[in-house]
Amino acid sequence: MAFKEGFLWGGATAANQCEGAWNVDGRGPALTDVTTGGSVNSPRYVTFVDKDGKPGKIPAHGGVLPEGAKYAVLEDELYPNHDGIDFYHHYKEDIALFAEMGFKTFRMSISWSRLYPNGDELEPNPKGIEFYRNVFTELKKYNIEPLVTIWHFDTPLYLEEHYGGWKNRELISFYERFVKTCFTEFKGLVKYWLTFNEINNTVMFLDLFGGKASDEAYQNAYQHLHHQFVASARAVKIGHEIDSENQIGCMICGITFYPLTSDPKDILANRHTWEQNIFYCGDVQCKGEYGSYAKRLWKEHNVNLEITEQDVKDLKEGTVDIYTFSYYMSTIVTTHKVDEKVGGNFSAGAKNPYLTYSDWGWALDPDGLTYYLEMIYDRYHKPLMVVENGLGAFDKVEEDGSIHDPYRIEYFREHIKAMDTAIENGVDLIGFTPWGCIDLVSAGTGEMRKRYGFIYVDKHDDGTGTMKRSKKDSFEWYKKVIASNGKDI
Ligand code: BGP
């Protein structure tokens, strides 16, 4: 195996999906706190009260709040993110388990609204700072390097409601204040940072409308992204000024796209999908400017972006140090009519007869990971990290409390081999943090039963459960993998 000495093996989580304590110690709400539970057949909803005080809900992805309505937590709804897996009160126990597995790094995110409850305050909430300082200190106790996502889908709800979210340029300065606080307060405790989780989802998601998203939706998505690019670039500059040790990365939702046929129209459509969904963000964040194809993308949807001279300068000066991404699946692009579309993680495409699929319909494709790693490394020549990868599956607790998950071990074994191949072929891969190393709330469906962890958490879709942690078979297996630096798989 080709994994370098010091390879960062670990696991990944996000605040809104695991911390719970949604209204504790001064934390303000985020959109996920007004998002209901769901399942693969029943999407998540965002709840509100309309201008006459009548409750209602809109789809969590793509829903538009009616005029005059206000987001609201409703009495008879279940909000799984409110409790998550209560990492807020279990972090010591959880970190001890990560340490037992031999984690070198732990990816987590900082809840913006725990530090700035509304997002536009001038001073941070001291209780929020204290919590994260405690978590980082605990990690350091075991020599686990924190890898911190600054924004993981959780803009404070107040900023969504009162400023219209990221399509408003003002969000850049609020984010700037937030990151300055993070870099200053946690200096010496954290050196690996990611500015925005799966930043490309905003535009990739529009594809799910089968080419029918409106020009206005594209305009908003591209402007939203532009603001996040500038915010990210400024964060990189600020982070480097505050501590030259800081390594700051982008985080892209990595999906490998293949054409369905050899029809040149499919080959071209596939290339354009890579440009829109993957390269668009990576190019700006790694090269400091929009790719040449961006003009075509904007023109296709009559997009007119507001880009200032200062933005251009910031993007150039704020390129990231590392490229990180999630990888769960590949998908198929075609201009031909297909009977069945399969999808997951903000994408959908034709079914691939050469692959098998998870219980949630996500294509299992380790070769696609090698492909992605080699393609991206060649494009940017920056160190790479796979900061999410994993199998969402049903796990069964046996009578004696054991949990046998050979399917998860098999999944990781194949993906580790795929990473090894890419390293052999010259890719500078420096870390691997499997998603949901401890079971947590699914971002897409809000389920608990879609489990990713090496550690099982007794928490269920109906909100019941003791929150007790227990080890699955994959726990001991991953421990061996880390101890042997990827040799013993
Ligand atoms: C990514 C997100 C994560 C995570 C993961 C798995 O999109 O960055 O937050 O949840 O996918 O997706 P899901 O939870 O829908 O299974």
Interatomic CA distance for residues 316 and 163, integer angstroms: 27
Q: Looking at residue 345, what is its pLDDT?
A: 62
3-class secondary structure, 336: coil
Q: Is the dihedral of CA 436, 439, 441, 447 positive or negative?
A: positive
- Give, in degrees to the nearest 5, the angle at Cα 232 between 159 and 244: 130
pLDDT, tens digit (0-9, with 9 covering 90-100), for 42-99: 889 999 999 999 999 999 987 888 999 999 999 999 999 999 999 999 999 999 999 9
Q: Which range (66-70, 111-115, 230-234, 286-290) has the least confidence?
A: 66-70
The continuous run of DSSP H or E covering 160 comes out as: helix 157-163
Q: Looking at residue 422, what is its pLDDT?
A: 98
In the block, tokens 């990576």 appear at 282
Provide the token pair at 228. Answer: 């996040």
Query: Is 447 annotated in the active site?
Result: no
3-class secondary structure, 171: helix
Q: Looking at residue 349, what is its pLDDT?
A: 81
Ligand 1: which of 345, 394, 433, 445 to mutate, most ligand atoms within 8 Å of CB? 345
Phi–psi pair at 186, nearest 5 degrees: -110, 20
Q: Looking at residue 341, what is its pLDDT?
A: 74
Work out whether strand 145-149 and strand 192-194 pair parallel, antiparallel, or are unpaired.
parallel
3-class secondary structure, 88: helix
Q: 441 near 32, Cβ under 8 Å?
A: no
3-class secondary structure, 112: helix
pLDDT, tens digit (0-9, with 9 covering 90-100), for 446-477: 999 999 999 999 999 999 999 999 999 999 99
Work out whether strand 247-259 and strand 469-471 pair parallel, antiparallel, or are unpaired.
unpaired
Q: Looking at residue 210, what is its pLDDT?
A: 67
**Measured in angstroms, how far is the CA atom of residue 293 from the centroid of ligand 1?**
28
At residue 187, what is the residue type?
A: K
Interatomic CA distance for residues 45 and 464, integer angstroms: 20
Structure ipTM: 0.99
Q: Looking at residue 213, what is its pLDDT?
A: 86
What value does the mean pLDDT take over residues 257-264? 96
Residue 273 gets which letter from DSSP? H
Atom of ligand 1 nearest to the CA of 392: 16
Q: Looking at residue 344, what is its pLDDT?
A: 67
Query: Is 275 annotated in the active site?
Result: no
**Measured in angstroms, how far is the CA atom of residue 24 from the centroid of ligand 1?**
24
Q: Could you tell me the CA-to-CA distances from 86 to 13, 35, 94, 185 in Å, in that order?
A: 12, 17, 10, 24
Atom of ligand 1 nearest to the CA of 390: 6
What value does the mean pLDDT take over residues 306-318? 98
